[in-house]
Amino acid sequence: MDAMDHDSGELQEVSAAEIKSFFESAPPLKDGDEINKKLKEFVERNSSATAPRVVCVTSGGTTVPLEQQCVRFIDNFSSGHRGAASTEYFLKAGYSVIFLYRSGSCQPYCSSLPDDPLLECFDISDDSNIQVRQSHAEVVKRVISEHHAAVSGGYLLKLPFTTIFEYLQILRLVALSLSCLGPCAMFYLAAAVSDFYVPWETMTVHKIQSRSGPLDMRLAQAPKMLSVLRKEWAPVAFCISFKLETDSKILVEKADMALKKYDMHMVLANELSTRKEEVIVVSKSGKTVVRKDKAQPCVDVESPLIELVVDRHSTYIKHSGDGTETT
Ligand code: 9Z3
Protein backbone atom coordinates (compact mmCIF):
# COMPACT_ATOMS: atom_id res chain seq x y z
CA MET A 1 0.00 0.00 0.00
CA ASP A 2 2.79 2.43 0.56
CA ALA A 3 4.61 1.30 -2.57
CA MET A 4 3.12 4.13 -4.57
CA ASP A 5 3.67 6.83 -2.05
CA HIS A 6 7.16 7.93 -2.95
CA ASP A 7 6.41 11.42 -4.06
CA SER A 8 5.22 14.62 -2.57
CA GLY A 9 2.01 13.07 -1.25
CA GLU A 10 3.79 10.93 1.28
CA LEU A 11 5.30 13.90 3.00
CA GLN A 12 2.16 15.97 2.82
CA GLU A 13 1.46 18.61 5.42
CA VAL A 14 -1.48 17.39 7.40
CA SER A 15 -4.09 19.91 8.42
CA ALA A 16 -5.78 19.98 11.80
CA ALA A 17 -9.11 19.71 10.00
CA GLU A 18 -8.05 16.50 8.27
CA ILE A 19 -6.98 14.93 11.55
CA LYS A 20 -10.18 16.01 13.24
CA SER A 21 -12.29 14.61 10.45
CA PHE A 22 -10.35 11.31 10.45
CA PHE A 23 -10.99 10.72 14.14
CA GLU A 24 -14.54 12.01 14.12
CA SER A 25 -15.60 9.81 11.25
CA ALA A 26 -13.68 6.67 12.30
CA PRO A 27 -15.82 3.91 13.84
CA PRO A 28 -15.28 4.26 17.61
CA LEU A 29 -13.12 1.62 19.29
CA LYS A 30 -15.27 -1.17 20.71
CA ASP A 31 -13.06 -1.52 23.76
CA GLY A 32 -11.78 2.06 24.14
CA ASP A 33 -12.65 2.24 27.86
CA GLU A 34 -10.96 -1.07 28.58
CA ILE A 35 -7.82 0.03 26.69
CA ASN A 36 -7.70 3.30 28.60
CA LYS A 37 -8.05 1.45 31.89
CA LYS A 38 -5.20 -0.91 31.01
CA LEU A 39 -3.03 2.02 29.93
CA LYS A 40 -3.72 3.94 33.11
CA GLU A 41 -2.77 0.95 35.28
CA PHE A 42 0.33 0.26 33.19
CA VAL A 43 1.57 3.84 33.32
CA GLU A 44 0.85 4.14 37.05
CA ARG A 45 2.74 0.93 37.78
CA ASN A 46 5.69 1.96 35.65
CA SER A 47 5.95 5.60 36.60
CA SER A 48 6.70 4.77 40.23
CA ALA A 49 10.26 3.77 39.24
CA THR A 50 13.03 6.42 39.47
CA ALA A 51 13.75 6.67 35.75
CA PRO A 52 10.98 4.67 34.11
CA ARG A 53 11.76 3.78 30.52
CA VAL A 54 8.66 2.94 28.54
CA VAL A 55 8.52 2.23 24.82
CA CYS A 56 5.51 1.82 22.58
CA VAL A 57 6.46 -0.68 19.87
CA THR A 58 4.04 -0.82 16.95
CA SER A 59 4.11 -3.94 14.85
CA GLY A 60 2.42 -5.57 11.84
CA GLY A 61 0.40 -4.06 9.02
CA THR A 62 -2.84 -2.10 9.15
CA THR A 63 -5.81 -3.12 7.02
CA VAL A 64 -7.97 -0.77 5.02
CA PRO A 65 -11.55 -2.08 4.85
CA LEU A 66 -13.41 -1.62 1.58
CA GLU A 67 -16.86 -2.22 3.07
CA GLN A 68 -18.23 -1.21 6.49
CA GLN A 69 -19.44 -4.79 6.94
CA CYS A 70 -16.03 -5.86 5.83
CA VAL A 71 -15.63 -8.76 3.43
CA ARG A 72 -12.66 -7.32 1.54
CA PHE A 73 -9.74 -5.23 2.66
CA ILE A 74 -6.34 -4.00 1.52
CA ASP A 75 -3.40 -4.98 3.68
CA ASN A 76 0.10 -3.65 4.31
CA PHE A 77 2.93 -6.13 4.36
CA SER A 78 4.53 -6.89 7.73
CA SER A 79 4.95 -10.23 9.48
CA GLY A 80 5.48 -8.48 12.80
CA HIS A 81 8.88 -10.07 13.33
CA ARG A 82 10.70 -6.73 13.68
CA GLY A 83 8.29 -5.49 16.35
CA ALA A 84 8.17 -8.78 18.27
CA ALA A 85 11.95 -9.27 18.32
CA SER A 86 12.56 -5.61 19.22
CA THR A 87 10.10 -5.93 22.11
CA GLU A 88 12.13 -8.81 23.56
CA TYR A 89 15.37 -6.79 23.36
CA PHE A 90 13.75 -3.70 24.90
CA LEU A 91 12.46 -5.81 27.79
CA LYS A 92 15.94 -7.28 28.24
CA ALA A 93 17.34 -3.74 28.33
CA GLY A 94 15.03 -2.86 31.24
CA TYR A 95 12.24 -1.10 29.33
CA SER A 96 8.55 -1.64 29.85
CA VAL A 97 6.81 -2.16 26.53
CA ILE A 98 3.40 -1.36 25.12
CA PHE A 99 3.21 -3.74 22.18
CA LEU A 100 0.63 -2.38 19.72
CA TYR A 101 0.32 -5.22 17.24
CA ARG A 102 -1.74 -6.46 14.35
CA SER A 103 -3.95 -9.37 15.46
CA GLY A 104 -2.43 -12.64 14.28
CA SER A 105 1.07 -11.23 13.65
CA CYS A 106 4.32 -12.45 15.30
CA GLN A 107 4.42 -12.25 19.08
CA PRO A 108 7.33 -11.63 21.45
CA TYR A 109 9.06 -14.82 22.62
CA CYS A 110 7.33 -16.97 20.00
CA SER A 111 9.88 -16.94 17.17
CA SER A 112 11.49 -20.21 18.29
CA LEU A 113 8.17 -22.07 18.31
CA PRO A 114 6.97 -24.09 15.31
CA ASP A 115 4.27 -22.58 13.04
CA ASP A 116 1.43 -24.35 14.77
CA PRO A 117 2.59 -24.76 18.38
CA LEU A 118 -0.62 -26.30 19.66
CA LEU A 119 -0.53 -29.12 17.14
CA GLU A 120 3.23 -29.58 17.04
CA CYS A 121 4.31 -29.17 20.66
CA PHE A 122 1.64 -31.16 22.48
CA ASP A 123 0.43 -34.75 22.71
CA ILE A 124 -2.46 -36.42 24.45
CA SER A 125 -1.15 -38.94 26.94
CA ASP A 126 -2.78 -42.29 27.78
CA ASP A 127 -4.88 -40.82 30.55
CA SER A 128 -6.22 -38.10 28.19
CA ASN A 129 -4.06 -35.44 29.73
CA ILE A 130 -2.25 -33.04 27.47
CA GLN A 131 1.53 -33.08 27.73
CA VAL A 132 4.38 -31.25 26.03
CA ARG A 133 6.38 -33.36 23.60
CA GLN A 134 9.85 -33.98 24.96
CA SER A 135 11.43 -32.52 21.80
CA HIS A 136 9.77 -29.14 22.46
CA ALA A 137 9.67 -29.17 26.27
CA GLU A 138 12.61 -26.86 26.83
CA VAL A 139 11.55 -24.18 24.36
CA VAL A 140 7.90 -24.22 25.48
CA LYS A 141 8.94 -23.84 29.12
CA ARG A 142 11.27 -20.94 28.33
CA VAL A 143 8.76 -19.12 26.11
CA ILE A 144 5.90 -19.43 28.62
CA SER A 145 7.97 -18.38 31.61
CA GLU A 146 9.60 -15.38 29.89
CA HIS A 147 6.26 -14.18 28.52
CA HIS A 148 4.52 -14.72 31.85
CA ALA A 149 7.24 -12.86 33.75
CA ALA A 150 6.93 -9.85 31.42
CA VAL A 151 3.12 -9.68 31.47
CA SER A 152 2.44 -10.50 35.10
CA GLY A 153 5.34 -8.30 36.22
CA GLY A 154 3.60 -5.40 34.49
CA TYR A 155 6.42 -4.81 31.99
CA LEU A 156 4.55 -5.86 28.86
CA LEU A 157 1.13 -4.63 27.78
CA LYS A 158 -0.18 -6.07 24.54
CA LEU A 159 -2.84 -4.20 22.56
CA PRO A 160 -4.14 -5.63 19.27
CA PHE A 161 -5.41 -3.74 16.21
CA THR A 162 -6.57 -4.73 12.75
CA THR A 163 -7.72 -1.68 10.78
CA ILE A 164 -6.00 1.66 10.26
CA PHE A 165 -8.91 3.21 12.20
CA GLU A 166 -8.16 1.07 15.25
CA TYR A 167 -4.40 1.53 14.95
CA LEU A 168 -4.45 5.32 14.90
CA GLN A 169 -7.04 5.65 17.64
CA ILE A 170 -5.11 3.33 19.96
CA LEU A 171 -1.80 5.02 19.11
CA ARG A 172 -3.33 8.35 20.14
CA LEU A 173 -4.55 6.87 23.45
CA VAL A 174 -1.10 5.41 24.12
CA ALA A 175 0.67 8.67 23.25
CA LEU A 176 -1.57 10.75 25.47
CA SER A 177 -1.18 8.37 28.38
CA LEU A 178 2.63 8.27 28.07
CA SER A 179 3.01 12.05 27.87
CA CYS A 180 3.48 12.21 31.67
CA LEU A 181 6.76 10.31 31.28
CA GLY A 182 8.34 13.09 29.22
CA PRO A 183 11.62 12.11 27.52
CA CYS A 184 11.64 8.67 29.19
CA ALA A 185 8.88 7.57 26.80
CA MET A 186 9.79 6.28 23.37
CA PHE A 187 7.82 5.48 20.22
CA TYR A 188 9.31 2.79 17.98
CA LEU A 189 6.95 2.75 15.04
CA ALA A 190 7.67 -0.45 13.14
CA ALA A 191 4.07 -1.07 12.03
CA ALA A 192 3.45 -0.81 8.30
CA VAL A 193 0.73 1.79 8.13
CA SER A 194 -1.37 2.31 5.06
CA ASP A 195 -0.93 5.58 3.20
CA PHE A 196 -4.28 5.25 1.45
CA TYR A 197 -7.69 4.43 2.81
CA VAL A 198 -11.43 4.65 2.26
CA PRO A 199 -12.93 7.24 4.64
CA TRP A 200 -15.57 5.54 6.78
CA GLU A 201 -18.37 7.88 5.79
CA THR A 202 -17.83 7.27 2.06
CA MET A 203 -17.49 3.51 2.46
CA THR A 204 -20.25 1.26 1.19
CA VAL A 205 -22.05 -0.59 4.01
CA HIS A 206 -22.59 -3.93 2.29
CA LYS A 207 -20.37 -6.24 0.28
CA ILE A 208 -19.35 -4.71 -3.06
CA GLN A 209 -21.14 -6.61 -5.83
CA SER A 210 -19.21 -8.06 -8.74
CA ARG A 211 -22.09 -8.10 -11.21
CA SER A 212 -21.43 -4.54 -12.34
CA GLY A 213 -18.02 -5.44 -13.80
CA PRO A 214 -14.52 -4.18 -12.95
CA LEU A 215 -14.11 -2.24 -9.75
CA ASP A 216 -13.00 1.36 -9.94
CA MET A 217 -12.19 2.93 -6.66
CA ARG A 218 -10.39 6.01 -5.46
CA LEU A 219 -8.51 5.82 -2.19
CA ALA A 220 -8.00 8.92 -0.09
CA GLN A 221 -4.60 9.72 1.37
CA ALA A 222 -4.42 8.70 5.02
CA PRO A 223 -3.40 11.68 7.13
CA LYS A 224 0.22 11.20 8.28
CA MET A 225 0.04 11.12 12.04
CA LEU A 226 3.79 11.25 12.65
CA SER A 227 3.89 15.03 12.85
CA VAL A 228 0.80 15.09 15.07
CA LEU A 229 2.43 12.56 17.37
CA ARG A 230 5.57 14.70 17.57
CA LYS A 231 3.90 18.08 17.85
CA GLU A 232 0.79 17.38 19.88
CA TRP A 233 0.36 13.94 21.38
CA ALA A 234 3.83 13.32 22.79
CA PRO A 235 6.05 16.33 22.07
CA VAL A 236 8.83 15.35 24.48
CA ALA A 237 8.98 11.62 23.79
CA PHE A 238 11.81 10.06 21.77
CA CYS A 239 10.34 9.16 18.38
CA ILE A 240 11.63 6.61 15.91
CA SER A 241 9.87 5.83 12.65
CA PHE A 242 10.72 3.30 9.96
CA LYS A 243 11.13 3.80 6.25
CA LEU A 244 10.52 0.81 4.02
CA GLU A 245 11.43 0.79 0.35
CA THR A 246 12.01 -1.84 -2.31
CA ASP A 247 14.32 0.39 -4.35
CA SER A 248 17.64 0.79 -2.54
CA LYS A 249 18.49 3.86 -4.62
CA ILE A 250 15.87 6.02 -2.94
CA LEU A 251 15.86 4.50 0.55
CA VAL A 252 18.26 6.80 2.41
CA GLU A 253 17.01 9.92 0.66
CA LYS A 254 13.44 9.07 1.67
CA ALA A 255 14.49 8.35 5.24
CA ASP A 256 16.28 11.71 5.38
CA MET A 257 13.16 13.46 4.14
CA ALA A 258 11.02 11.75 6.78
CA LEU A 259 13.52 12.66 9.51
CA LYS A 260 13.25 16.34 8.66
CA LYS A 261 9.60 16.54 7.69
CA TYR A 262 8.26 14.76 10.74
CA ASP A 263 11.01 15.90 13.07
CA MET A 264 11.78 12.32 14.11
CA HIS A 265 14.74 11.62 16.39
CA MET A 266 15.71 8.62 14.29
CA VAL A 267 14.46 7.00 11.11
CA LEU A 268 15.32 3.34 10.64
CA ALA A 269 15.57 2.65 6.94
CA ASN A 270 15.21 -0.83 5.56
CA GLU A 271 14.81 -2.54 2.24
CA LEU A 272 12.18 -5.24 1.98
CA SER A 273 14.52 -8.00 0.77
CA THR A 274 17.36 -7.34 3.24
CA ARG A 275 15.37 -6.14 6.24
CA LYS A 276 16.46 -9.07 8.40
CA GLU A 277 20.15 -8.45 7.69
CA GLU A 278 20.57 -4.70 7.60
CA VAL A 279 18.99 -1.49 8.91
CA ILE A 280 20.33 2.00 8.21
CA VAL A 281 19.94 4.33 11.17
CA VAL A 282 19.38 7.89 9.97
CA SER A 283 19.54 10.77 12.44
CA LYS A 284 20.75 14.36 12.62
CA SER A 285 24.18 13.12 13.58
CA GLY A 286 24.53 11.05 10.40
CA LYS A 287 23.99 7.51 9.17
CA THR A 288 24.99 4.23 10.74
CA VAL A 289 24.53 0.82 9.16
CA VAL A 290 23.53 -1.88 11.63
CA ARG A 291 24.10 -5.45 10.39
CA LYS A 292 23.22 -8.86 11.64
CA ASP A 293 26.31 -10.69 12.84
CA LYS A 294 26.78 -13.53 10.34
CA ALA A 295 28.95 -15.41 12.81
CA GLN A 296 25.95 -15.64 15.15
CA PRO A 297 23.04 -16.80 12.99
CA CYS A 298 20.70 -17.06 15.99
CA VAL A 299 21.11 -13.40 16.93
CA ASP A 300 18.77 -11.09 15.00
CA VAL A 301 19.68 -7.70 13.61
CA GLU A 302 17.36 -6.29 16.30
CA SER A 303 19.96 -7.12 18.95
CA PRO A 304 22.60 -4.53 17.87
CA LEU A 305 19.82 -2.24 16.65
CA ILE A 306 18.08 -1.97 20.02
CA GLU A 307 21.46 -1.60 21.73
CA LEU A 308 22.10 1.49 19.60
CA VAL A 309 18.56 2.84 20.04
CA VAL A 310 18.77 2.49 23.83
CA ASP A 311 22.11 4.26 23.83
CA ARG A 312 20.73 7.19 21.81
CA HIS A 313 17.65 7.35 24.03
CA SER A 314 19.88 7.55 27.13
CA THR A 315 21.79 10.47 25.63
CA TYR A 316 18.49 12.15 24.73
CA ILE A 317 17.17 11.80 28.29
CA LYS A 318 20.45 13.11 29.70
CA HIS A 319 20.37 16.22 27.53
CA SER A 320 16.63 16.81 27.48
CA GLY A 321 16.83 19.16 30.43
CA ASP A 322 19.55 21.41 28.99
CA GLY A 323 17.89 21.98 25.62
CA THR A 324 20.77 20.57 23.54
CA GLU A 325 19.94 18.46 20.51
CA THR A 326 21.84 15.22 20.66
CA THR A 327 20.48 12.74 18.20
C1 9Z3 B 1 9.18 -1.34 8.59
O2 9Z3 B 1 9.86 -0.81 7.77
C3 9Z3 B 1 9.52 -2.68 9.23
O4 9Z3 B 1 10.89 -2.78 9.47
C5 9Z3 B 1 9.04 -3.90 8.37
C6 9Z3 B 1 9.41 -5.15 9.17
C7 9Z3 B 1 7.53 -3.83 8.16
C8 9Z3 B 1 9.74 -3.94 7.03
P9 9Z3 B 1 8.49 -7.56 9.39
O10 9Z3 B 1 7.30 -7.08 10.16
O11 9Z3 B 1 9.03 -6.32 8.52
O12 9Z3 B 1 9.61 -8.00 10.30
O13 9Z3 B 1 8.11 -8.62 8.37
N14 9Z3 B 1 8.03 -0.75 9.05
C15 9Z3 B 1 7.50 0.50 8.59
C16 9Z3 B 1 6.88 0.38 7.25
C17 9Z3 B 1 6.11 1.61 6.84
O18 9Z3 B 1 4.99 1.49 6.48
N19 9Z3 B 1 6.71 2.78 6.92
C20 9Z3 B 1 6.09 3.99 6.40
C21 9Z3 B 1 6.88 4.40 5.19
O22 9Z3 B 1 7.86 3.72 4.81
C23 9Z3 B 1 6.15 5.07 7.44
S24 9Z3 B 1 4.97 4.78 8.70
O25 9Z3 B 1 6.49 5.39 4.56
pLDDT in tens, 19-57: 999 999 999 999 999 999 999 999 999 988 787 999 999
Mutate to test the pocket of ligand 1, among 14, 62, 74, 78 (most ligand atoms within 8 A of CB): 78
Separation between Cα atoms, residue 198 and residue 74, nearest integer Å:
10
What is the interface pTM, i.e. ipTM, of the complex? 0.96
Q: Is the CB of 224 under 6 A from ligand 1?
A: no
Q: Is the CB of 81 under 6 A from ligand 1?
A: yes
The pLDDT of residue 12:
52
pLDDT tens for residues 70-89?
Answer: 999 999 999 999 999 999 99
Contact 197, 64 (CB under 8 A): yes
Q: Is the CB of 12 under 6 A from ligand 1?
A: no
What is the atom index within ligand 1 of the atom nearest the CA of 10? Answer: 25
- Can you list the domains of the chain with their CATH numbers? 8-116+130-207+217-253 (3.40.50.10300)
How many degrees, rounded to 5, is the angle at CA 121 between CA 117 and CA 126? 135
Mutate to test the pocket of ligand 1, among 242, 254, 278, 302 (most ligand atoms within 8 A of CB): 242
CA of 272 to the centre of ligand 1 (A): 8
The residue-averaged pLDDT of 105-123 equals 95
Separation between Cα atoms, residue 167 and residue 102, nearest integer Å:
8
169 pLDDT higher than 90: yes
Q: pTM value?
A: 0.94
Mutate to test the pocket of ligand 1, among 248, 275, 281, 292 (most ligand atoms within 8 A of CB): 275
Separation between Cα atoms, residue 177 and residue 100, nearest integer Å:
14
The pLDDT of residue 17:
87
The pLDDT of residue 212:
78
DSSP string, 243-309: EEES-HHHHHHHHHHHHHHTT-SEEEEEEGGGTTTEEEEEETTEEEEEE--TT-TTS-THHHHHHHH
CA of 135 to the centre of ligand 1 (A): 35
